[in-house]
Structure 1
Amino acid sequence: MKTKKALILTSLFSLLWMSCVNSEYLFTIPRSLRGGSKGTYCLSLRNIDHENPAGYDCQVILSLRTSEVNITSVRAVDSFYSSEPDWNQCVKFDVPSKADKYIASVTVRIDGNELFTHEEKVNVWVAKNITLIQTDKPLYKPGQTVMFRILRMDYNLLPLTNPLELITIDNPGGVRVMQWKNVDASKGLVSLEMKLSDDPILGTWNIKIHGADETYQPFKVEEYVLPKFEVKITPPTYLLPSSPTITGKVCADYTYGQPVKGSLIVRVCFGPEYYRYYNPKQKCVDIIETNFDGCQSISIPSAQLKLGVQKYPGWGSLKINATVREAATGIELNGTSTGPDLTYDPLKIDITDESDGYFKPGFPYKGKVTVTFPDGKPAPNEIIRIKAESYNIDDYWSKEFTTDASGIINFSLSDLWSNILSIHLRATAVKYEENSDTEYESYFQHMSTPNDYKTIFEWFSPSLSYIYIPTIKEKVPCDSTVDLDVIYSTDGSSVNVFTFV
């Protein structure tokens, strides 16, 4: 008597594995199927026991029926012939177009004898088409022409070309004012337009697509006048608690480029969002300029905003609001700027090298320190202390450098210690090291000391010999010869002559 074993795994696939004596059978079908598409099931047979030595017939019967009403939606019968004991086959079948939970039933017969029958639940989902409606602008004035395009795509993002049954435009009252029927979409993209009357209903209108791909796109119709000028605010690029003043700039220009003359009111505030609820004592500073002539620089002592004072919030953003009033007409326009945030890091230091963080004993290690301000601009003439040490020894190396005009320091470590596996580098901005002689009173927030750390490791060499080939930074023509100073280290017991190509 033959015994059977079955193992069902629930995952992305419904999987059935069975064995009968020495024969094995594997059947897989996706757990989730897209409605209206082609699904695929796969059957693998191993060590098939059959009576006919010439081969065997395999028949697979697959059916999908709904779990509730027990109506079969798909029934596929596939027959195969094979003379091999090991056999694999994947077959496509039609997936029902209706989304529902189905019971997939599979029966496999070998030479008319049932090999196995199994049922498993599968889920069929229907992919929705994508419909996009785009107007040439979101806001229209009375009498203007509303132009829009429609693009429909299927699940694979391929354009749909079947006609659109009905397209309508409704006014804010829900009244249909325009419609198109059976619109040709053979090219995939549909372009339509509608001219507004001189006295339309103001408000939100809707472009609607009716049918299976029903959707809508709103647009507004309003009476508006384009502003004649624009207010622009240039805030400081960064903000430190040690900044003695806060500077910025406010400009107002007409659309044709000329400066606006009139008056200016500027309000500058600092603090976290909703700071008034956090600390009622936080104050803003107002600036009034009656003879505004297109641009005005502003400068406010930081003390007036309690910037960096410990009793006030030590974080937040700078907020600037400017109102420009045109002298000729009295028209007022506003401009607003938020940021930058207060930072306690006056400099950013970055240690890099061209050796990917490795050093070779006997060769100088060459590194680079880049120093920038919080806004990313180079920080020249900054004194930076570079320190190198290793946990293996008590000695250390330290030296101070000054950044060049690009905020860069190139340094070299020669005569490296022997028998060390790693070196720890630290670069520190000397001017900002914490000490008791700070020029600011104790109730001010203290800034962080800018520094950066990097650990470099010894390059591994089984022979304890190393070679250094310098980087060629300039362009070199093909088939040309370049002279390089190649450094080679050895223990001195032997000298080798070699050629590098």
Structure 2
Amino acid sequence: MIWAVYLLLTLEGILSQSDKPLFGLFCPPDLYYPSEETFCIHNAGDLRGFSRLLVILETQSGTTTLHTVLPNMPAWHCQSFQVPEPSKDTENVKLLVQGIGDEGNKVQLSSKSLTMRRKSVGTFVQSDKSIYKPGQLVQFRIISINQDMEVQDKNFSLVELQDPQGNRLAQWKNVSPKMGIAELSYQLAEEPNLGKYSIRVNNVVRQIEVLEYVLQKFEVMIDAPSSISVLDNNVTISVHGQ
């Protein structure tokens, strides 16, 4: 993971007049949903009159306290947290450090901007063949993978099969994948429209062709010795096709 160092330092230790605690906060600048991220905080131990420090994630949906620093706690602490769902594909959020006084008064000691991002997801459609003959069974499968190569188990809201004229031949709603893969099939008619058919899933299109075709036949001839000895170092075999 590439970490950007968000080192939030007061001048305590450099200028003795400062009444703010000395601390450092380390966190990645981009938070990806859904995932678990980790931040680390280091403090000098002296909270300078505050009863505690709070590390807070501020988003459009609200605030979440991620960690509380109390006096005499270990100087170095790392903690993981679940990234909340952003309001859109990307959302600018803030990571705050607040000092809480003995009487409950709050002082904001630092604020840093982060970006929450939805993990990008790619949907792939694979058919068992690219060209079909009339009357054959079209079999295909659908899989969605995010940027970390993690398979997504979310339903596909609508899957359509269209003929060359754009007519809908079949549709499947709320298709549930099994182990991340959705498998579907469609039986072609004996006399269908010939041409390119489209399988559509979430703005992803996979095209197949339905054609009248005959596979070419080849005659294969193999010329080889009638017998081979274990003493033979080389054996010549010829293969001819026509």
Q: TM-score, normalised by structure 2?
A: 0.72
Task: Give CA-to-partner distance per residue, 1:200-236, whole Å, 9 cap, x none.
Answer: 22221111124xxx422111112222223xxxxxxxx
Letter in 2 for 1:198: E
**Equivalent residue in structure 1 for 2:206, among 217, 220, 224:** 217
Matched, 1:256 2:219: yes
What secondary structure, in the 3-state scheme, does the structure 2 residue paired with 1:18 have?
coil
2:125 maps to 1:137: no
Find the counterpart in structure 2 of residue 32 from structure 1: 30
Q: Find the aligned partners of 2:85 and 2:187 in 1 and give their Cα distance.
A: 45
**How far did residue 166 of structure 1 move?**
2.0
Would you say 1:227 and 2:225 are equivalent positions? no
Q: Distance in 1 between matches of 2:190 and 2:171?
A: 20
Q: Which residue of 2 is the match for residue 358 of structure 1?
A: none
Q: Which residue of 1 aligns with 2:89?
A: 99
Alignment check: 8 A CA contact 1:168 1:178 kept: yes
Superposition deviation, residue 139 in structure 1: 0.7
Match of 2:205, as an amino acid?
Y
How far apart in 2 are the matches of 1:179 and 1:166? Answer: 7
Write the deviation string for residues 287-328 of structure 1: whole angstroms up to 9, x where unpaired: xxxxxxx78xxxxxxxxxxxxxxxxxxxxxxxxxxxxxx9xx
Residues 102-111 or 201-210, more deviating: 102-111
Match for residue 208 of structure 1 among 188, 196, 200: 200
Separation (CA, whole Å) in 2 of partners of 1:13 and 1:176 = 54
Structure 2 matches for 1:42-57, cutoff 5 A? 42-48=40-46, 50=48, 57=51
Report percent identity of matched pairs: 22
The CA RMSD over aligned residues, in Å, is 3.0
- Aligned equivalent of 1:73: 61
Note the alpha carbon deviations across 1:91-114, whole angstroms, 9 max, x for none. 325334233341414133154476
What amino acid maps onto 2:219 in structure 1?
Y
- Tell me the distance in 2 between the aligned counterparts of 1:37 and 1:193: 34
2:186 alignment partner, one of 194, 198, 203: 194
User: What 5-or-longer segments of structure 1 have no aligned partner?
Assistant: 1-10, 66-71, 229-254, 260-293, 296-325, 327-501
Separation of aligned partners in 2, 1:101 and 1:151: 27
Q: CA deviation at 1:116?
A: 5.2
Select which of 77, 82, 85 maps to 1:89. 77
Offset of 1:47 from its aligned partner? 4.5
Partner of 1:21: 13
Shift of 1:79: 2.6
CA distance in 2, matches of 1:101, 1:14: 19
Specify whether residues 26 and 116 from structure 1 end up closer, same or farther in structure 2 by C-alpha distance, changes over 3 A only: farther
State the aligned residue count: 212
CA deviation vs aligned residue, 1:333-365 (integer Å, no higher than 9, x gap): xxxxxxxxxxxxxxxxxxxxxxxxxxxxxxxxx
Partner SS for 2:142: strand
C-alpha contact 1:131 1:150 (8 A) present in aligned 2:
yes
Change (3 A) 1:26 1:164: same
Structure-to-structure mapping, 1:46-445, within 5 angstroms: 46-48=44-46, 50=48, 57-65=51-59, 72-77=60-65, 78-84=67-73, 87-91=75-79, 92=81, 94-97=83-86, 98-109=88-99, 111-112=101-102, 117-210=109-202, 214-228=203-217, 255-257=218-220
Q: Write the letter of the residue equivalent to 2:90.
A: D
Do the aligned partners of 1:146 and 1:193 also contact (CA within 8 Å) in 2? yes
| Secondary structure of 2:11's aligned partner | strand
Letter in 2 for 1:59: L
The counterpart of 1:41, out of the listed 39, 42, 49, is 39
Contact 1:101-1:121 at 8 Å conserved across structures? no
Contact 2:99 2:109 in 1 (8 A): no
Decide which moves more: 90-99 or 118-127.
Answer: 90-99
The alignment partner of 1:19 has SS state of coil
* Contact 2:122/2:146 (8 A) holds in 1: yes
Alpha-carbon distance, 1:80 to partner: 3.6
- Displacement of 1:135 in angstroms is 0.8
Equivalent-residue separation in structure 2 for 1:138 and 1:221 (angstroms): 9
Q: CA deviation at 1:34?
A: 0.8
Higher relative contact order (CA 8 A, sep 6+): 2
Letter in structure 1 aligned against 2:187: K
Output the CA distance in 2 between the equivalents of 1:89 and 1:224. Answer: 69
Q: TM-score, normalised by structure 1?
A: 0.38
Residue 25 of structure 1 and its aligned partner are, at CA, apart by 1.0
Q: Describe the shift of the 1:132–1:182 C-alpha distance in structure 2 as closer, same or farther (beyond 3 A).
A: same
1:28 shift after superposition: 2.1
CA deviation vs aligned residue, 1:107-159 (integer Å, no higher than 9, x gap): 33154476752233322221123322211111111221111122233454343
